[in-house]
């Protein structure tokens, strides 16, 4: 029987690195991206086009895009938070733009510079710019499970923001647990509710492991029918505007688990682990992922 497909989107070059205090060189970022492609990933976040004063680690987005491997079979995502970022991403050659909204005003003001409702004013302009620039567009709802400033975020609120997201032509909608507060029951409830308003739109899940629930949440999302999951090799990452946000769910841990559960991701586990070690080397410290530190299983 054919194994069911599951897409792992590797976010270490963007979400993974953006919170690192020491700026990683463009050259090292491109080496990381080459390794990610070689491991079998076919979609990844390559850079964000945001205010370089606020996120200095991402100031070289243009150079990263200019140096990307020239391959038709891999997609490199550019993240943007405003129309200017979309323009810069398109000028840099991005073919896919992930635009980020927030479910909570407290986070939206800090991350996007305005309350949630206001951030949607430019949504038609953003969609137009992406279309005119030949890039496909996806939307992420950050703080979809809880906000570091406003606290609990209701399911109704997330559904309302999801409806606003779907007013423009997007191919995918992601729910992000930016600060890692969700439990599997929250994941099932929210994806089920959002699916009701998202029609046939592809759904994607983004988890952080702040409270050690990310792997369980990923399994819940897949049980709920989600077939696109973000991960960050080594489990690095966090958000500069979300106090206490720990790393993303480690991709190699997702890969080990879903591999054993019978899903086909196209990614080689040994190569993913090697890349997690490479990241640890670049950052000069241990990374939180577990599988990369465990003995190989099954034994060779
Ligand atoms: Zn994240």
Question: Which pLDDT tens digits describe the chain residue by residue (300 residues)?
Answer: 689 999 999 999 999 999 888 899 999 999 999 999 999 999 999 999 999 999 999 999 999 999 999 999 999 999 999 999 999 999 999 999 999 999 999 999 999 999 999 999 999 999 999 999 999 999 999 999 999 999 999 999 999 999 999 999 999 999 999 999 999 999 999 999 999 999 999 999 999 999 999 999 999 999 999 999 999 999 999 777 777 667 999 999 999 999 999 999 999 999 999 999 999 999 999 999 999 999 999 987
Encode 145-168: b = buried (16+ Cβ within 10 Å), e = exposed.
bbbbbbeebeeebbbebbebbbeb
| Cα 142 to Cα 34, 183, 272, distances in angstroms | 28, 16, 26
How far does residue 206's CA lie from ligand 1's centre (Å)?
A: 6
Cβ(282)–Cβ(23) under 8 Å? no
- CA 15 to ligand 1 centroid distance, Å: 5
**Residue 137: which CATH number?**
3.20.20.70
- Cα(176) to ligand 1 centroid in Å equals 7
> What spacing in Å lies between the alpha carbon of 104 and ligand 1's midpoint?
16
- In the prediction, which pLDDT does 21 show? 86
Residue 299 lies in a domain: no
- How far apart, in whole angstroms, are the C-alpha atoms of residue 279 and residue 38? 15
* Contact between residue 292 and residue 252 where contact means Cβ atoms under 8 Å apart: yes
Task: Pick the catalytic residue from 102, 147, 165, 239.
Answer: 239
pLDDT score of 300: 74
143-201 pLDDT per residue, tens = 999 999 999 999 999 999 999 999 999 999 999 999 999 999 999 999 999 999 999 99
Q: Is the peptide bond before 298 cis (omega within 30 degrees of 0)?
A: yes
Q: What is d(CA 30, CA 32) in angstroms, rounded to the nearest whole number?
A: 5
Number of domains within the chain: 1
Q: How far is the CA of 142 from the centre of ligand 1 (A)?
A: 8
Do the domain assignments include residue 2?
A: no
Q: Which among 189, 181, 293 is positioned nearest to 235, based on CA atoms?
A: 293
Q: What is the Å distance from ligand 1's center to 178 Cα?
A: 5
Active-site residue, 147 included? no
Q: Is the pTM of this model over 0.85?
A: yes
In a domain, residue 300? The reply is no
Contacts of 30 (CB under 8 A, 6+ apart): 64, 67, 68
> In 3D, which of 75, 93, 168, 174 has the Cα closest to residue 134?
93
State which residues form the domain around 25.
7-293
Between the CA of 238 and the centroid of ligand 1 the distance, in Å, is 6
Cβ 12 vs Cβ 278: under 8 Å: no
The conformation of residue 293, written as its DSSP 8-state character, comes to G
Q: Which two tokens stand for residue 156?
A: 């109704």
> How confident is the model at residue 1, as a pLDDT?
67
């Amino acid at each position: 029987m054919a194994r069911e497909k599951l897409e792992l989107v590797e976010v270490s070059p963007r979400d993974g690195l953006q919170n690192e205090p020491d700026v990683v060189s463009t050259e090292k970022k491109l080496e990381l991206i080459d390794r990610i492609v070689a491991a079998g990933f076919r979609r990844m976040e390559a850079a964000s086009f945001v205010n370089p004063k606020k996120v200095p680690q991402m100031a070289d987005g243009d150079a990263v895009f200019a140096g990307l491997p020239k391959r038709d079979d891999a997609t490199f995502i550019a993240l943007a938070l405003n129309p200017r970022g979309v323009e810069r991403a398109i000028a840099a050659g991005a073919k896919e733009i992930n635009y980020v909204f927030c479910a909570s005003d407290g986070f939206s003001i800090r991350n996007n510079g305005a309350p949630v409702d206001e951030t949607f004013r430019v949504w038609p302009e953003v969609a137009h710019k992406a279309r005119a620039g030949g890039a496909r567009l996806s939307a992420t709802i950050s703080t979809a499970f809880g906000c570091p400033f406003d606290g609990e975020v209701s399911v109704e609120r997330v559904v309302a923001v999801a409806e606003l997201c779907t007013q423009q032509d997007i191919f995918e909608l992601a729910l992000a647990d930016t600060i890692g507060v969700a439990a599997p029951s929250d994941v099932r409830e929210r994806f089920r509710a959002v699916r009701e308003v998202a029609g046939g739109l592809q759904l994607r899940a983004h988890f952080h492991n702040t409270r050690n629930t990310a792997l369980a949440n990923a399994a819940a999302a897949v049980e709920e029918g989600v077939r696109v999951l973000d991960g960050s090799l080594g489990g690095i990452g966090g958000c500069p505007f979300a106090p206490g946000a720990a790393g993303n769910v480690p991709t190699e841990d997702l890969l080990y688990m879903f591999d054993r559960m019978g899903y086909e991701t196209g990614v080689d586990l040994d190569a993913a682990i090697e890349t997690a070690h490479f990241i640890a080397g670049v950052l000069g410290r241990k990374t939180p992922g577990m599988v990369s530190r465990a003995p190989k299983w099954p034994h060779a």
